[in-house]
Structure 1
């Protein structure tokens, strides 16, 4: 009974599974209350362990959901005014947003791709892009590439678990563990890099004074 309740939404395929996947990824890309990586990993695992979802469609819908959400977030940052920007960056460190804004001026579309893949990097990047009025003709291709690489990465975690376990429920649970582990590792690496960069930046004035 419990197994049926957990796997039922994905078992319906075109009726529930695909719209649910797209909707959750879209929602989580605008309002970060949904763990979108877990959703994609679980859907891919279910697609491998059961036949009601197709893996190519899982990848496509996850990409489109992430892309649409990112474009909506960018539009809010660009046209929504100061109050909308404050709503977007709630919970974000102000220095992080300023740091990304400076990097964005130099690297442009590469930062959009990296921001999608790194933990807590997406919102500051899109806010910086909106503040700098980054052109849509450059934003859309970069966001599409970023969304595809992101969806592919989390789908692969689901493919790994779904290829090992025949039970859809076990495959989804293992995919969830893999996604959480990868997210924790990348978050730790990103935090250490930011701390190292902050230490280096703090030492620069001292070097200039002694020089």
Structure 2
């Protein structure tokens, strides 16, 4: 194994970083994808399609684990989620998952800080595996593509892989902050005065 070859480190870093960050949100997964795409765009060391595939697979595996752990112990997960929720609210959530569960899974993946609550709620409410798996795959493909586009944009602006990677990371963080601010503003505007 040639440890001086960026692909030797790059591909496992993309897959492992996204997988880890999808299970335990300590790694900024969007920045990992953006950086991988920026390096692929500015050098010949990484393949952009392979970066997308590995990011999608890492995100998908992480989402399946995040859903699967509480789903396998769904009775305990349901008690944990329901202990602070009125029965009407739980029933409304169950109805929403029954009607538009795939949309909730996709949107939850794309909205910063939305994925884990959606997956935990889906698991606790007994959302079926047969519906979650295809929805999560679509969500992960869209998510990886969106963050790779930010990396491609930064790689297209700068020839230096370091500058492109830094710009991709900054762009991902700015998009995340902006999305969180918009979500917070929308929640506050819906609150009764």
What's the TM-score, normalizing by structure 1? 0.79
Q: Quick one: which of 93, 98, 101 aligns to 1:101?
A: 93
Partner of 1:48: 41
Q: Which protein shows a greater Rg?
A: 1
Q: Quick one: which of 172, 192, 208 aligns to 2:185?
A: 192
Deviation at 1:84, TM superposition (A): 11
Name the SS of the counterpart of 1:34 in structure 2: coil
Partner of 1:206: none
CA spacing shift, 1:10–1:136, aligned 2, 3 Å = farther
Q: What is the root-mean-square deviation of aligned Cα atoms in Å?
A: 2.5
Which runs of 5 or more structure 1 residues have no equivalent in the other structure? 1-8, 204-211
Q: Distance in 1 between matches of 2:120 and 2:93?
A: 8
Question: Quick check: 1:115–1:121 contact (8 Å CA) kept in 2?
Answer: yes
Partner of 1:208: none
Q: Quick one: which of 6, 10, 14 aligns to 1:12?
A: 6
What's the TM-score, normalizing by structure 2? 0.86
Question: For this pair of structures, how many residues does the alignment match?
Answer: 183
Q: Quick one: which of 1, 5, 19 aligns to 1:26?
A: 19
Matched, 1:181 2:151: no
Which runs of 5 or more structure 2 residues have no equivalent in the other structure? none
Q: Quick one: which of 110, 114, 122 aligns to 1:121?
A: 114
